Amino acid sequence: MNCKCKTALIIIMTLNFNIVMAQFNTLEQLRGHCWQAPFPDGKRIDTHCFSDVFGGAHLKDEHIVCGPGEPYYGETWYSAEGKDSTVTFRYFNSLSGFSQGGVIFDGQYIYFPEENYQQGDKEVTYKTIWTLKKNQYISEMLQQDDQHEKGWKPVWSMVFKKVNLANVSAVARNEKHQLYCHNDTSSSHTKE
């Protein structure tokens, strides 16, 4: 490869990386903060805390659902992948569930199209839209369902508001910096 081609390739790769990082930085509003929303049934509370990993190369979303029954834990890692000019996510939870997919950014909207969630031999396809607003974001999740008009049925619409964990009663962090529910005495994520 001659010098001009190498230079052009480096410029293209740099431009693609800059585009990806600009998209990835759309998540800046969430980074370093915790967000909380009641489930539509009003019985459980979902808390998400976003933090940088490896100096900002990835963004981690640690979440916990508190309420009746055992707490539910999950963790999502967002990564900017410059090769494809995309941002991807990988999600794992305490029920041995897993999903991954791409993230599409459009102004104040973040789209998670066709996420295939797997738990054991069960697989469900979801799509989610987050609408970013000042000090809150709205999460709307749909589940693929051929019986439903347009092929997608609503799962929930939840309004997540920015919170300081020191000022909320349901969730805190233990000395290992793990989230735990104040009413949970059964898991390894307890206060001790």
- The CATH code of the domain that includes 142 is 2.40.128.20
**The predicted structure's pLDDT at residue 137:** 95
Please indicate, yes or no, if residue 151 is contained in any of the structural domains. yes
Q: pTM for this structure?
A: 0.81
Number of domains into which the chain is organized: 1
Please indicate, yes or no, if residue 76 is contained in any of the structural domains. yes
Structural domain harbouring 119:
3-181
The larger pLDDT score, comparing residue 27 to residue 34, is at 34
Please indicate, yes or no, if residue 192 is contained in any of the structural domains. no
Please indicate, yes or no, if residue 101 is contained in any of the structural domains. yes
Please indicate, yes or no, if residue 71 is contained in any of the structural domains. yes
**The predicted structure's pLDDT at residue 55:** 85
Closest CA to 180 of 97, 73, 77: 73
Please indicate, yes or no, if residue 52 is contained in any of the structural domains. yes
| % the chain with pLDDT above 70 | 79
Q: Where are the beta strands (DSSP E) in the chain?
A: 34-38, 45-53, 58-66, 72-81, 86-93, 97-106, 109-119, 122-133, 136-144, 152-163, 171-173, 179-181
* Position 106 pLDDT exceeds 70: yes
pLDDT digits (tens, 9 = 90+) for 121-137: 999 999 999 999 999 99
Please indicate, yes or no, if residue 36 is contained in any of the structural domains. yes
**The predicted structure's pLDDT at residue 94:** 94
